[in-house]
Amino acid sequence: MLTNFLNLWILARVLQSAVAATLGVAGALLGVVIAWRWRSGQSNESQLALERLAELAAAVMQVALLVGFLGLALSVFVTDHLVGGIRGAMCAFGVLASTASGFTGLLVSLLAALVCGLWVVLHRFDLRLETPVLTRRKFLALLAVGPLMLADFICAVRFAFELDFNVIASCCSVWLDDTALNARAARLVVSPNLAGGIALASTLLAAGASLAVWHRPGRVKALFAATLSGLATVAAVPAVLGVVAPYALATPGHLCPFCLFQAQGGWLGWPLFGALLIAAITGLGLGVVEVHRGAAGSREVARQFQQELARCSLLAWLGTLACGGFPVARYLIRSGGVSVFGEV
């Protein structure tokens, strides 16, 4: 509905995605031109002009990264702010579920921020090198970033059109409460013992692997740390649903992650998912650097950069673990050791 665009929050989200899409597509188009004409090692006037254009494109994409992260935050913030306008919706889940493209748009925003973050890792690695031998590769990689940002804009516009303030939405409990999940195979995935155990183990392993790379970088260590970071990121989702949310909301059957962004969840979602996203980017970034290390031709620069990434990844994983463990520890202390699920 066109009248939805009169809502300032919806308009802000659409404008943000439009800016990000413009920057992303412009950066991708510039990247194709630069990659096509780039001649490493030459110093003629044409190459110097191309290097200046490359600096411009890199600056554009770094701004696009910041705008992309803003879009991811806005996707949650705006939908949470719209809760009061849609009957039946208790949190952002209900607003997103009331449209066909709500969750798709959120996923696209997440992928766009993640891919753009990994591109910045590759760009920063290229800047560390004495000669920009990775320039062609990093600008060709923009072909993956631009379309994602454009897709994010399309999803934001579609969500705005589909949003109906007269509809009676279903709250998160209809989809995610323990009673609803008991009859589904998904209940096994968010089982507290299974989900919590896998997430705890994978997070600790990812943090340990990052620590090993920080201490002494190596090819196998870096690839192993990147793999564990990817697995830990995936494993964190069911753990948030099956463990963190019930303890933070003090209700064993309340498994909604979006309620963690509200006062009832202590706004835990912001630091928790923020740390998780940073951990994913820096952890996977170790693999990105390692994949391109041979082409870079400078082992020492790669080692130093991987140590910096590993340090950030370690701190981010520890931050994720602290945010996820805080509501569990708080509840157990207040209850005298009794689990939210009724177990001593």
Higher pLDDT, 70 or 275: 275
Query: What is d(CA 205, CA 4) in angstroms, rounded to the nearest whole number?
Result: 46
Could you tell me what percent of the chain has a pLDDT over 70? Answer: 91
Task: Specify burial of residue 342 (Cβ count, 10 A radius: 0-12, 13-18, 19+).
Answer: exposed
The CA distances from residue 174 to 177, 180, 235, 279, in Å, are 6, 7, 23, 32
Q: Among 163-177, 239-253, 273-287, where is mean pLDDT lowest?
A: 163-177
DSSP characters for 209-269? Answer: HHHHHHHS--HHHHHHHHHHHHHHHHHHHHHIIIIIHHHHHT-TT---SGGGGSGGGTTTH
- pLDDT higher than 90, residue 232: yes
Q: Indicate the pLDDT class of residue 224, thresholds 50, 70 and 90.
A: very high
* Cβ atoms within 10 Å of 47's Cβ, excluding its own: 14
pLDDT at 183 exceeding the cut of 50: no
Q: Is the pLDDT of residue 171 over 60?
A: yes
Per-residue pLDDT averaged across 164-177, rounded?
A: 71
Per-residue confidence (pLDDT) for residue 53, from 0 to 100: 81
Mean pLDDT of the region 237-263: 89
- pLDDT digits 0-9 by tens, 268-326: 999 999 999 999 999 999 999 999 998 888 889 999 999 999 999 999 999 999 999 99
pTM for the model: 0.91
pLDDT surpasses 70 at 187: no
How many CA atoms does the CB half-sphere of 212 hold within 13 Å?
16
Find the mean pLDDT for residues 95-106: 88
pLDDT at res. 314: 98
